[in-house]
Amino acid sequence: MQPPLVEMRGIRKAFPGVVANDGASLELRAGEVHALLGENGAGKTTLMNVLAGLYRPDAGEVLIGGRAVEIRSPGRAIALGIGMVHQRFKLVPGFTVAENVTLGMKEPRFVFHPRSIEDSIGAFARDRGLPVDPRARIRQLSVGEQQRVEIVKALWRGAGILIMDEPTAVLTPREVRELFGVMNRMAAEGKAVVFITHKLSEVMEIADRVTVMRHGRRAATVEKAGTSPVELATLMMGRGHKAPACDVHAGQPGPVVLEALDLEAEGDRGERALRGLTLEIRAGEILGIAGVAGNGQRELAEAIAGLRRVTAGSIRVGGTDVTNAGPARAIDAGVGYIPEDRLGTGLAAGMSVAENLIMKAYRGAELSTGPFLRRGRTVEWSRRLAERFRIKTPSLDTPVSSLSGGNAQRVLLARETASRPKLIVAAHPTRGLDVAATDHIRAILREQRRAGSAVLLISGDLDEIMALSDRIAVLYEGEILGTFPCAGADLERIGLMMGGVRTSGPAREGTTVPSCMRRHGRLRTK
């Protein structure tokens, strides 16, 4: 029998503190779409990074077409016909599409003529169902278009094995369908396509075979035709999978805490990121923002936290107007903010745990007198927080950069909730954390709700939104297209809205009407 196109055996890869792959294996056949399924942290991406030459395994071997190979570098992987589309695209933002596609290649030898290269790349991409303007700069493209550029880049280099790491996470449903079309087409041409995901529905739709990973190794490889979502879920979790359920919340929501009215704001590149966004959250309530990444989530969070100017509209927190008031006044008004970019915005990585814990409270009378910090009080303050939030750290003087992701996030949450804020804006609070840390962080957010805070939860993970929210608002291109109570929410309708489909049915109870619709008079509130 012909050997498989790719065979990985007994791959082990350890990082300081974590064994990501521990005897993992995988076989790929030419002409198949092969799903690599597993929970976050199961070792899927690490295994594929080994195949793509980014990591060198500590043990194990890789065979291509039956021959053992050593993949020392991404360049070597490309030469072997392996291309990978990473979750974080490896594209130079200031370069054109054509420049990115040709970067690092041996051709052209020395002088290149942009025009002719652009034309041939444009034609090449069109022929493969991946239309993209070769002259456009990457930073002008949508996330979906950037992904297309990544695929074109891999194919232009002659990839016969294409690895895609969670490609659908950033796409609208329509773009997902187009992507699946491209994947099927590549498989039909005899290429092997690896599709990393943790979504069962996508596996059932597109894959030919599925390898399920758990705890850094293969749990099983099955034919799609011979399996079921329930079996896959069991393999993935190791036991019965519980469907996401709403967290039914008994308490009555209190008065309105956050009132955002007709917000308009620009993104980093001057594009209109928020377009007349309106929402409100009450005390003791978690509002989840559902939406595909890049539809204004970051700008919304930053506007509320006082870190981004709004060009129109108003923001009130607990009755205080904080529109364009700056971060200090937002903090004073009772806004706690857990930013998406923890170590870049939320925590000073080089400073100690204690110094990070007092960052929002040091100005207060409890920790300072006049211009002086009260050393004893600050130590006591941070020791108490570290204890209460179970922050595992060698000492309070340890720099935050040497904590694990989960513990760093605990530092952030401890600080942001310590002063009993009226409103907590939490952006992707559990992204990249292990199961225990995720559970802990979610418990902290629920605890805050019980204590009467309003919580704005932004997450790319619909399961997380369902698990925590009382109400769900769908954000699309800077507008709220609809708001639903979590209990009995129509997932299909939410999915459609996330893709920009404006449903025309009557609004449900509790639905805030998006301003765009109000303007057009298509919808009326009761």
Partner 1 sequence: MFVIERRAERSALFRFVSPALAVLTALVCGALFLKVSGFDPLAVYGGMWRGAFGDAYGLSETIVKAIPIALCALGIAVAFRMNLWNIGAEGQLYAGAAAAAWVALSFPGAPAAFVLPAMTAAGMSAGALWALLAAVPRAWVGANEILTTLMLNYTAVFLSEYLIHGPWKDPAGFNFPLSPAFSEAARLPAFGDTRIHAGLIFALAAAAALTVALRKTKWGYELRLVGASPAVATYAGVGIARHVLVAMAVGGALAGLAGMTEVSAITGRLQYGLSPGYGYSAIIVAWLAKLSPAGILAMAFLFGGLLVGGYAVQFIGVPAAAVNMLQGAMLFFWLAAEFLGRYRVALRGRPREVR
Partner 2 sequence: MEMDAVTALLAAAVGAGTPLLYAALGEILCERSGVLNLGVEGMMLVGAVCGFLAAVETKSPGAGVAAAMLAGGALAAVHAFMTVTLRVNQIISGLALALFGTGVSSYLGKHLIGVPLPVTPGPLPIPGLADLPVVGAVLFSRDPLVYASYLLVPTAWFWIHRTRPGLHLRAVGEDPATADAAGVNVYRVRYAGILAGGMLAGLGGAYLSLFYAPCWVENMTAGRGWIALALVIFAVWSPLRALAGAWLFGGIEALGFRIQVLGAVVSPFFLKMLPYLFTIAVLVFFTAWNRRRRIGAPEALGLPYERE
Instruction: Please report, as ranges, the residues that interact with partner 1 according to CB under 8 A.
Output: 56-57, 60-62, 68, 70, 305-307, 326-331, 337, 339, 344-351, 355, 358-360, 362-363, 368, 371-373, 375, 402
Q: Say which amino acid occupies 427.
A: A
- Using alpha carbons only, how large is the chain's radius of gyration in Å? 25
Q: Does 54 bind partner 2 (CB under 8 A)?
A: yes
Sole binder of partner 2 in the list 66, 72, 87, 104 (CB under 8 A): 104
Which of partner 2, partner 1, none interacts with 254 (beta carbon under 5 to 8 A by kind)?
none
At closest approach, how far in Å is the CB of 183 from partner 2? 22
At closest approach, how far in Å is the CB of 110 from partner 2? 6
Q: Say which amino acid occupies 205.
A: E
Contact 121, 152 (CB under 8 A): yes
Q: What is the dihedral of CA 283, 286, 290, 294, to 10 degrees?
A: 70
Q: Does 124 bind partner 2 (CB under 8 A)?
A: no
Which of partner 2, partner 1, none interacts with 484 (beta carbon under 5 to 8 A by kind)?
none
| Nearer residue to partner 2 within complex by CB, 76 or 329 | 76
| Nearer residue to partner 2 within complex by CB, 126 or 139 | 139
In the block, which residue shows the tokens 């690896």?
194
Which of partner 2, partner 1, none interacts with 104 (beta carbon under 5 to 8 A by kind)?
partner 2
Cα 442 to Cα 388: distance, rounded to the nearest angstrom: 15
Q: How many residues bind partner 2 (CB under 8 A)?
A: 25
Q: What is the dihedral of CA 480, 268, 259, 414, to 10 degrees?
A: 110
Helix (H, G, I), strand (E, B) or coil at 469: coil
Q: Does 91 bind partner 2 (CB under 8 A)?
A: yes
Residues 249-278 interacting with partner 2 (rule: CB under 8 A): 269-270
Q: Does 16 bind partner 2 (CB under 8 A)?
A: no
Helix (H, G, I), strand (E, B) or coil at 68: strand
Which of partner 2, partner 1, none interacts with 70 (beta carbon under 5 to 8 A by kind)?
partner 1
Q: Does 151 bind partner 2 (CB under 8 A)?
A: no
Which of partner 1, partner 2, none interacts with 202 (beta carbon under 5 to 8 A by kind)?
none
- By DSSP bridging, strand 471-476 and strand 479-485 are antiparallel
Q: Does 158 bind partner 2 (CB under 8 A)?
A: no
Contact 426, 454 (CB under 8 A): no
At closest approach, how far in Å is the CB of 357 from partner 1? 12
Cα 85 to Cα 66: distance, rounded to the nearest angstrom: 24
At closest approach, how far in Å is the CB of 525 from partner 1? 36
Cα 124 to Cα 131: distance, rounded to the nearest angstrom: 9
Q: Does 102 bind partner 2 (CB under 8 A)?
A: yes
Q: How long, in residues, is the chain?
A: 526
| Nearer residue to partner 1 within complex by CB, 181 or 326 | 326
Q: Does 18 bind partner 2 (CB under 8 A)?
A: no
Q: Taking CA 459 as the corner, what is the angle to CA 166 and CA 424, rounded to the nearest 5 degrees?
A: 155
Cα 160 to Cα 298: distance, rounded to the nearest angstrom: 37
| Nearer residue to partner 1 within complex by CB, 24 or 517 | 24
Six-digit token pair at 172?
A: 């609208």
| Nearer residue to partner 1 within complex by CB, 140 or 320 | 320
Q: Does 109 bind partner 2 (CB under 8 A)?
A: yes
In the block, which residue shows the tokens 């205080």?
320
Cβ neighbourhood burial of 374 (10 Å; 0-12, 13-18, 19+): middle
**Phi, psi dihedrals of residue 68, rounded to the nearest 5°:** -70, 135
| Nearer residue to partner 1 within complex by CB, 346 or 429 | 346
**Phi, psi dihedrals of residue 172, rounded to the nearest 5°:** -80, 160
Stretch of residues binding partner 2 (CB under 8 A), selected from 67-75, 171-179, 421-429, 479-487: 67-75
| Nearer residue to partner 1 within complex by CB, 256 or 348 | 348
The footprint of partner 2 (CB under 8 A) covers 54, 73-75, 78, 90-95, 99, 102-105, 108-114, 269-270
